[in-house]
Structure 1
Amino acid sequence: MAYDTYLEERITRVLKGKNIVFNAKKMMGGLCYMVDDKMCFGIVKEQFMARIGTDFYPFALEMNHVNEMNFTGRAMKGYVFIDADGLDTEEQLAFWIQKCLDFNPLAKSSKKKRS
């Protein structure tokens, strides 16, 4: 399994319950959720990848089950991974989804590739 499909189902329920328009794209062996054409959060294996921005980032890293996002040996500031143990309840999952949704209007869009 490339990513946690049960977590995918839970995320979809939360987003639909909030009437959020989103697009889920398979990327890099995981699943990326796009909101307003910007990467908002995703699933990498069993972890929730959260784009929370740099303001909340240091506080998030102090929380249980939260780790810096590091693919290349260098942390990506403003992004964190939340382990499965930090997403046990629907309230915990909804908290992280809302943090990402709160940051999304401030996030920069990636440049569109021209064909």
Structure 2
Amino acid sequence: MTSTPTALTGRVRAALSGEPSTREVSMFGGLSFMVDEKILVAVGRDDVLLVRIDPARHDELLALAGATQAEMGTGRSMGPGWIHVVPDALATDDDLSFWLDVAREYNTRARRTTR
């Protein structure tokens, strides 16, 4: 299944355009952005951003406005290190940059995701 591009997809793509070793992969029901073969973020069909974060910062980041525990289906938590951010919390480029920076910081230390 090919995901339909969304407004957020274009914004993420533009923000990551200078990032080395970036590729896009359809997964999680949307489009995942991989950096160094590791998931950085994914954009869902509903413009919710899935962010891979440092599990040690999970509670801190989950407390921010618009952040919720990521789930793979109702009631199936993805666990610490995965947060959904709703579109309203990504209204500005600064909002999006904040979450991309959080994901980038962890990406440098994260293990590769196997598929």
- Judge same fold: TM > 0.5, yes or no: yes
State how many pairs are aligned: 109
TM-score (norm 2): 0.86
Which ranges of structure 2 fall in alignment gaps of 5 or more residues? none
Q: Secondary structure at the match of 2:56?
A: coil
Mapped to 1, the partners of 2:95 and 2:28 lie a distance apart of: 25
| Alignment CA distance shift 1:57-1:71 (3 Å) | same
Range moving further from structure 2, 103-112 or 90-99:
103-112
* Structure with max Cα Rg: 1
> How far is 1:4 from its partner?
5.4
Given that 2:28 and 2:42 are in contact with CA atoms closer than 8 Å, whether structure 1 keeps it comes out as: no
What residue is the counterpart of 2:27 in the other structure? 27
Higher strand proportion (structure 1 or 2)? 1
Q: Percent identity?
A: 24
Mapped to 2, the partners of 1:98 and 1:66 lie a distance apart of: 15
1:101 paired residue among 73, 79, 104: 104
> How far is 1:38 from its partner?
0.8
> How far is 1:53 from its partner?
1.7
TM-score (norm 1): 0.86
Which ranges of structure 1 fall in alignment gaps of 5 or more residues? none
Given that 1:3 and 1:29 are in contact with CA atoms closer than 8 Å, whether structure 2 keeps it comes out as: no
CA-based RMSD of the aligned residues comes to: 1.6
> How far is 1:111 from its partner?
3.8
What residue is the counterpart of 1:41 in the other structure? 41
